[in-house]
Structure formats: structure tokens, C-alpha cells
Structure 1
């Protein structure tokens, strides 16, 4: 668990090996590809398209997929085409050992395959292709995530502005605010609870499948003690929720509320996501201050 302020969030970084899926019906090729890339990638192996789809269903998006073209149950291009809609940013490379490349040309032209490599391949050439593909994946992923964050921020800002303009009481705005955060950041559970004179008040609202008490939340207790947002991106194996956030909603160093969010998966959000959440929380603090001011008039 790490305590972070809005500034410190931007400076925190988590590095993980990119994920690589290799698909080939020949075990020797699978073993060779594994040995080639295991130091730089988390490598998953499948002996056919069907088993590869099962791995993707369980493990999620890969940075790169390397697939043999001629496999008995389905061609490599057929398998790869099934992954495009769910994993559009994944880079796909086909290994082919025969000269008829009609299917490959069609797949490349339609954007389903990034490159093809002929068998037997040159190890250094294959490495170069895969590392270049990983760089392209990182760039695509960065742009996709930036777009999603921008859309989430704009959607939240619209809700915050509407609430600031129309709400007459603080209690009226808690539920729509927590719902907006939960929906835009795809949480498994979210709670927004107001704070009065450094004490959690009775005014709160929640959304999502997972519910818990903020009074018993260690991260929330740390926020109450320090006034700084708290983040835990990876919990213990037996924890129900692996990613946990408790964000301080403060205006001029006065803690107005705490926004707590949880996800079942570890590293469910990036540091850039957290920075956007903190920015939105700061905007919520301004809205709460305005509502509180006008409710006294």
C-alpha cells in the first residue's frame, strides 16, 4: 500500500513484461519461440487456434500474437481474424512455410496481420519484428487509453457541472456523483461519503456489485489521517479486491469527502487513470463547496 498525493500519483510507475502468445501445432517450434522470448516477455503457448482462444479468454489482451499459418484445425489467419474485434490493439505476426500467400496478403491488407515471417525463420529477424511490433502496440495502447481517459473526464465533468448548477443540498449530489465515477472507470464497487469536521458523516452513496464500510477501510483511515489519497494496486492473493483506491476530495486543504473505489483485478487502473480520477475529485470538491455555500444563503 502506498500513500500518494495528486502530484505523487503522476510520478509513480509500474513496469511489467509485455504479454506474448505463440501458436503452433509443432511442439519444437513452441519451445523454440518460448526460449527466444521468455526473458523479455511473459510468454503463453498454444498448440492450435482453439486452445489459443481459450488462453485469450482467460489471460486477456496480448501485446503480440505469433501464429503459424498452416495448422490442422484452423489456419493462422482464420484464428487471428477472430481476435481483432476484442483485441484491436494487439499486433499479429504469421509464420508461414509455404509459398501460397493469398490468405496472408488478404489478412495484411485488411489490417488483421502486421507482418508475416517465412519458415525457417532467422532468429534475429524475428526478434526485430516482434520488438518493433511491441513498440507499435505500446503506442496504440497509449493513444487508446488517452482517448478513454479523455472521454471519462469529459463525461464526469458534465455530471459535475450539472450537479453544481442544479443541486441545492449536498445529500442530493452524492448518488449521481458516485454512479458517474463507477460507470466511467468500470469499478466493481465505489463509495462516496461526505466528511464533516474530519469525521465521516452519515451521508454516503455506493454503486457496483461490491459493498463495504469506509469506516473499516485502512486506506480511508489513512486519508483521514493524512489528507492524501491512498492507492493499493495489488493486494494479497486471498483479497477479494486487488486494486483499491481512496481519493481525498478536498478544497483548500479541507477534506470534504472520500471517494473509495475497488476492482477485483490487480492493476485494474494505470497511474494516468488515477491522476484523472484525482483531477475529477478536485473538481467535485469545487462543486461541493459551491453547493454548500448556496445552501446556507
Structure 2
């Protein structure tokens, strides 16, 4: 199986720790990293690229010191290597205008309001990772047991029909 990264970005350490704790169930199959700034996130993404690890999903806060989360997600969407990445905004402070900008630039796949519920966050992340794998991974069978099984099997069946395999 290819290596994939889930990256969580928030400038508040307690929030970041809480998100990582809620998502630690994905660590068996994904690399789970945390960054306290956009600069740190960019360094982790570059490091992953060099190790041929794809950024499958980024969960990003909006209000951060050097660059907003939405600006960062738009930037990632303009890079061909991170365009397929599922982009989630986890914030309590993004205004409607900022959110609309992200949606209009196709840079936001899901919006999660703070405070969040752990089960809800895990389900959203599982759904987004399933979408990512269906769109970007040829061999879906290894992912069937850990992601949304029914959707993975439907995609495999469709792939067989489309390509006559």
C-alpha cells in the first residue's frame, strides 16, 4: 500500500492535541502529523513529497498568525501535487465571506465547526479519506476494511465495468 499523510494544522497546541487524539484510530494505515503553523505544515508537506508520501487529507484551522487556513487551502488547491488532497476546515471563526471564497475556489471539501464531537469528526474524516482513495488509488481492496466498505466495493465494481477487468 502506498503511504498517505493526514495533516492537522492549528496554532493552539491543546486543540491540535485533541484533534490528533480523536484521529489516532487512523494511525495504523495513515501517517498522522500535526503542525502548529502554516510554515510547519508546508515543511511537513515538502518532507513527505521527498519521501513519496501523498497528502491525502488536511484538517486546518482558519485563524492563524502568518496565513489564514483558507488562504493555505486555496494555495494547496493550486498546486498540482496537493490539488487532489481532501481539504477540511476546522474552525469556529471563519466568516461566511471567507468560507464562500474557499468553496468558490474548490479549495474546501468540508467545514467542521468548533467545538466538534469526536465521533462526528472521525466519520467525516473516514468519508473524506474514502473519497480520496476512490479518486486516487487504483488498488482499493486494501482500503475496504478500514474506510467506508460499501463505497469502496461500489467503486471497485464500477471500475471493473468501466475497464472490463
TM-score bracket, shorter-length normalisation: 0.7 to 0.9
Structure 1 residues 125 and 39: alpha-carbon distance in aligned structure 2, compared to 1, 3 A threshold: closer
Distance in 2, Cα, partners of 1:27 & 1:118: 18
**1:27 to 2:16 alignment:** no
Shift of residue 39 of structure 1? 2.7
- Give the alignment of 1:95-110 within 5 angstroms: 95-98=90-93, 100-110=95-105
**2:72 aligned to which of 56, 76, 79:** 79
Shift of residue 38 of structure 1? 2.0
TM-score (norm 1): 0.41
Distance in 2, Cα, partners of 1:47 & 1:99: 18
Q: Please say if residues 10 and 61 of structure 2, whose CA atoms lie closer than 8 Å, have aligned partners that are also in contact.
A: yes
TM-score (norm 2): 0.72
How many pairs were matched up?
Answer: 130
Q: Please say if residues 74 and 105 of structure 2, whose CA atoms lie closer than 8 Å, have aligned partners that are also in contact.
A: no
User: Looking at CA atoms only, which structure, 1 or 2, has the larger radius of gyration?
Assistant: 1
Residues 228-253 of structure 1, C-alpha deviations (whole Å, 9 max, x = no match): xxxxxxxxxxxxxxxxxxxxxxxxxx
Shift of residue 58 of structure 1? 0.5
Q: Please say if residues 21 and 45 of structure 1, whose CA atoms lie closer than 8 Å, have aligned partners that are also in contact.
A: yes
Shift of residue 109 of structure 1? 2.4
Distance in 2, Cα, partners of 1:99 & 1:78: 12
Aligned to 2:21, the other structure's residue is in SS state: helix
Q: Please say if residues 23 and 46 of structure 1, whose CA atoms lie closer than 8 Å, have aligned partners that are also in contact.
A: yes
> Aligned residue for 2:24?
38
Query: RMSD over aligned Cα, in angstroms?
Result: 1.9
| Structure with the larger RCO, 1 or 2 (CA within 8 Å, 6+ apart) | 2
Higher strand share: 1
Aligned to 1:94, the other structure's residue is in SS state: strand
Residues 46-104 of structure 1, C-alpha deviations (whole Å, 9 max, x = no match): 00111101110001321110000111111001111221213111000001213622111
Q: Please say if residues 24 and 30 of structure 1, whose CA atoms lie closer than 8 Å, have aligned partners that are also in contact.
A: yes
For structure 1, the 5+ residue unaligned runs are 1-13, 146-297
For structure 2, the 5+ residue unaligned runs are 140-165
Runs of 4+ in 1 over 4 A off after TM superposition: none
